Chains A and B, each alone.
Chain A
Amino acid sequence: MKNIESVFWAYMLGWAVFFGFYLTVAKRSKDLRAEVERLKKAAREK
């Protein structure tokens, strides 16, 4: 299995990019959901 490490690393790094991207989307969504709740609460209190 010559050069199989290169194939393995290509897949691993590629998946790491996708996972990292998904995490940033999930983090940004969580922050925005909290912001929506905060703004809705502030509007109710007015």
Chain B
Amino acid sequence: MEKRPLFGAAAVVLLVAAAYAAFFVAPRERTMGDLQRIFYFHASCAWAGLDAFGVCFIANLLYVWKRRGTYDWLGVSAAEVGLAFTTVVLISGPIWAKPAWGIYWTWDARLTSTFVLWLLYVCYLLLRTLVEESDRRALLSALFGIFAFIDVPIVFGAIRWWRTQHPAPVIMGGPGSGLDPVMRKVFFFSVLATHVFMAFLILERYALEKLRGEVEQLREEAEAA
């Protein structure tokens, strides 16, 4: 029996359970009220997105070192999934910001670096469409992916290094930061759910890339025959 659909179903169940916990289990935050419940989804998607780009970075490094097509497949799969998660972050953030700040967007360090990250990985995917020869495409995109990853620590550090309009970190934020114990449990459950979902999407996307490799091989064989 195929294991991927079961894994996908488990990931969706976890996502729904995490949403239930965010709406009905987590206590109401004192200053922001119910609006703060976006945090569980927004921050856990941001975390999963950055980790997907981390997977892409490792795959890119391995491709440059070993030149195996499977690392290229993993790199592009993780980049697309990371981009999907970052898109969700860039949508859910402004939905929170409008009632909280009165504006949807401001060019502060965290928001700008996240938007630049999104653009960098859009460029990574566009670059792949511009090069036809598969080895050259894989190498160029791996090198670009290594460069693009430079922005990931900047996104992480932006709210730690600079004073920004974006709220200060509540996880790994140093002294004075932190969460109510129930909020903390709900948040880490959301992080788990989004990471399981991210892994599922990367596996699905990797299977697609494997098929693409098979098509390329069959076409080469047909041309050679």
Contact = CB atoms under 8 A, between A and B. Distances in A.
A22 B5 CA distance: 12
Chain B interface SS verdict (over half): helix
A3 B35 contact: yes
B130 interface: no
B118 interface: no
Interface in A1-46: 1-4, 6-7, 9-11, 13-15, 17-18, 21-22, 25-26, 28-29, 32-33, 35-36, 39-40, 42-43, 46
Contacts of B171: none
B205 interface: yes
Contacts of A18: 84, 88, 197, 201
B22 to A, nearest CB: 8
Interface of A: 1-4, 6-7, 9-11, 13-15, 17-18, 21-22, 25-26, 28-29, 32-33, 35-36, 39-40, 42-43, 46
